[in-house]
Structure 1
Amino acid sequence: MPVPLRDTAAVAAGVLAPLAAALVLLPLRDSVTHTNLALLLVVVVVAVAALGSRLAGAIGALSAAAWFDFFLTEPYQSFHIEDRADIDASILLLTVGLAVSQLAARARTLKRVAVTDATHLERLHGTTRLARFSTSSDEIVRSVRAELIDVLDLSACRFEQGSLLGRPPRLDPDGSVKVAGWIWDLDRQGWPDGEIELRAVVRGRYQGRFMMTPAPGSVPPPLESRLVALDLAAQAASPLDEDGRIATRV
């Protein structure tokens, strides 16, 4: 499964940003205490972790400790340290960098989860209101199609009414994807090839299906997003059932 570009960039920043910071601090190595120089590099590590991932933060901490040793402690341009205080500063830099970077990455993750949850709630609330007050089932289907494209990062999505034809990969009610009756490992294999079926079902009655095409190279969204997609499809099924169009027992 492809690695997100942001994560790749964050790992690269974890390697290069401490190096750049150490080079900038070179003129200060004789006038500023080494402990203070190490703390300045910790700031860089925290920035990398806050913008990237835990892995990027850990790599940043290791990189900062290495370049601190190489450029800012005697003997210079060597990974050997002679002064006991410099050894302590290097250990402090590595330890604090690792700890703080993990905390920064966790805070970023929690913030992202909170924002995502709020966005999902807004989607469901808006679709529920539309299903309740709209007089056009086609309008609801169009709205749900647009929401599915956004929440699942799809390149295309179309709605089919009628009998079930073929056995395409299917997004099941528990959020898993099945291919030919077997559960597909989304985390390891990514999206399966071709269109993926999402059935619009209400009260056990099949009203149609959304045929979804993931964007090329896109990473499958987390389980929470897939469950939201299932709820959105159910909202589209409800007015179709009331219209008495297609009602096939699943």
Structure 2
Amino acid sequence: MTEWYEDSFGEDYLLVYKHRDVQGAYEEVHKMINWLKLEPQARVLDLCCGMGRHSLALADAGFRVTGIDLSDVLLREARQMDTENRVEWIHADMRNLPLQGGFDAVVNLFTSFGYFREDGEQLKVLQGIRHMLKPGGSYIIDFMNTAYVTRHLVPHSKRETEGHRIEEFRQIKDGFVQKEIHITDSGSSQKPRIHEERVKLYTREQLSDMLQEAGLVVDQVHGGYDEEQYDEQDSPRMIFVGHRSVE
């Protein structure tokens, strides 16, 4: 059976999420650099790099960057934007990273976590992050804030873009936030193309425990890139910043 993340990050993903801007990535990277306290020329792994917005912003900031993603389509877009070949792009599953490690930092951004049904699979990702980091190396895991998402979930939305109608249906079910995306070409009588997204919900305490089990220390949690402090009810995001334990 094909898992949702093997299907959903294709050509239609580019259409649905085309509004994500490059300038925002540069602003977020500036904040990340301060949080991670990175030295010039530090090695950074962008785990689940997607179209490479943050990887390229990190490279522009003077770091040696590797971007990993499972989607050939998104990696194709990343390579096309990387006209000077500044980033090493690698196709891989985040649970099984084909690298030796030794990175100064690993970043996992915009809820590129919680994709799997079992907690044990999520733990493999965190253990992989630890393995990629050199002792004392730092990480960022940028996850959604469960309480905020639960309160502000929009069950249904629709829009038109570039001759396509996009409808999104959202629900929280069995501990996951689920989205079903229907895409129809304008004027077409064909059935819509349907894609699913499903992310497991974790509280701050649950994710903190998983990080500790994986050998990752939590230094601080932010509520967004413009929020220094995390508030369980009001913060839109839950951004963990920490480091690999030395032992």
Q: TM-score range by the shorter chain?
A: under 0.3
What is the TM-score with the length of structure 2 in the denominator?
0.23
TM-score (norm 1): 0.23
More strand by share: 2
Q: Rg bigger for which structure?
A: 1
